[in-house]
């Protein structure tokens, strides 16, 4: 057959396939979400997320060491306090769980880049992401508390803050607070495009952050909408976000691609707890090959355009990169 153009030519052999690969990945782009809790000597497995643990501050170094050896240099911290109240005061307490974890992390792992999730849901007795007015979250009153929380994290050693609450105007409020306190060089990674998703169930189990009533559809986005995602991302960049995030990842890769085209800042994708749990469950039942699914879902996020990838499989992905299986 007389064929001038043969796409298969560039698929002939592993060396050539890697040479012409369109999507390239590096362990430096991986961010591992780690749960830290009060107590001593604790590393308790999360039932809905096999292989993931809640660590007390004195034992989180076990995981940080393992991540470091694999080549993962960034984590995002989620705090699990013992005490909760109506306004989530533990979120900005000087001796709060995240603040204590940051002190230990920066002492023992000074080269590990520490990002903190800034939200109220783990700290409020009602489980919502802000101050309540009746059964609704009061957007503007919540901004002050989010700003106090972000500032306390940075003062405790956070390298970056990541507000995940989805309150209008929170990036601007946090940026103003940090700048006035002299932290003009601390970047903000906003959860700009965060959908009200069924994929968050295992996380709420892990963090004990399920709402006591209602749901979060009043502030998280409707998954039917895509133009709204661009509006949210552009607004956050205008307010001072240095990076923006799309969450979840797996079923929102179209939004990763659209946001990537719309903004001129790095774009992160968060492969959330439900995505992790699905792969784990399928592998446990023998229905899928876990390693192959880890690689394929990770590559799909980068192929869609993400620059940073938050994933509970960060350690495994970094090792696969080193082995040349992906990247």
Closest CA to 156 of 207, 115, 209: 115
Q: Report which DSSP code applies to 87.
A: T
Contact partners, residue 76, CB within 8 Å, separation at least 6: 31, 32, 33, 34, 115, 116, 117, 162, 310
Closest CA to 88 of 37, 136, 142, 35: 142
What interhelical angle do 97-108 and 139-156 show, nearest 10? 30
Q: Report which DSSP code applies to 110.
A: T
Q: What angle do CA 252, 258, 263 make, to 5 degrees?
A: 125
Task: Please tell me whether residue 276 adopts helix, strand or coil conformation.
Answer: helix
Q: Six-digit token pair at 274?
A: 């439900």
Q: Report which DSSP code applies to 320.
A: H
Q: What's the rounded Cα separation, in Å, for the pair 230 and 18?
A: 33
With 0-12 / 13-18 / 19 or more C-beta atoms within 10 angstroms meaning exposed / middle / buried, residue 266 is middle
Q: What's the rounded Cα separation, in Å, for the pair 101 and 95?
A: 10
Would you say 199 and 272 are in contact if contact means Cβ atoms under 8 Å apart?
yes
Q: What's the rounded Cα separation, in Å, for the pair 149 and 174?
A: 9
Closest CA to 122 of 44, 61, 36, 55: 36
Q: Which residues are catalytic?
A: 194, 247
Q: What's the rounded Cα separation, in Å, for the pair 93 and 151?
A: 11
């Amino acid at each position: 057959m007389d064929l001038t153009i043969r796409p298969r030519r560039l698929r002939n052999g592993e060396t050539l396939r890697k040479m012409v690969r369109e999507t390239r990945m590096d362990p430096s782009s991986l961010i591992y979400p780690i749960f830290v809790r009060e107590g001593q000597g604790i590393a308790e497995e999360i039932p809905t997320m096999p292989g993931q643990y809640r660590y007390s501050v004195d034992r989180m170094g076990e995981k940080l060491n393992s991540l470091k050896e694999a080549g993962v240099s960034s984590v995002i911290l989620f705090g699990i306090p013992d005490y909760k109240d109506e306004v989530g005061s533990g979120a900005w307490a000087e001796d709060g769980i995240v603040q204590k974890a940051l002190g230990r992390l920066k002492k023992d792992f000074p080269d590990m880049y520490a990002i903190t999730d800034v939200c109220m849901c783990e700290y409020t007795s009602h489980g919502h992401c802000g101050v309540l007015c009746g059964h609704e979250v009061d957007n503007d009153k919540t901004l002050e508390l989010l700003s106090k929380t972000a500032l306390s994290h940075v003062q405790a050693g956070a390298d970056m803050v990541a507000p995940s609450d989805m309150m209008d105007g929170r990036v601007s409020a946090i940026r103003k607070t940090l700048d006035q306190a002299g932290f003009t060089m601390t970047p903000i990674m906003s959860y700009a495009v965060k959908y009200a998703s069924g994929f968050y169930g295992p996380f709420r189990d892990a963090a004990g952050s399920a709402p006591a009533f209602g749901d979060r559809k009043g502030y998280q986005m409707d998954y039917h909408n895509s133009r709204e995602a661009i509006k949210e991302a552009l607004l956050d960049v205008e307010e001072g976000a240095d990076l923006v995030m799309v969450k979840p990842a797996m079923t929102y890769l179209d939004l990763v691609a659209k946001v990537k085209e719309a903004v001129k800042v790095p774009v992160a994708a968060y492969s959330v707890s439900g995505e992790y749990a699905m792969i784990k469950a399928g592998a446990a039942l023998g229905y899928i090959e876990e390693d192959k699914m880890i690689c394929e879902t990770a590559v799909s996020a980068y192929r869609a355009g993400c620059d940073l990838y938050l994933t509970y499989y960060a350690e495994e992905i970094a090792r696969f990169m080193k082995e040349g299986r992906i990247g």
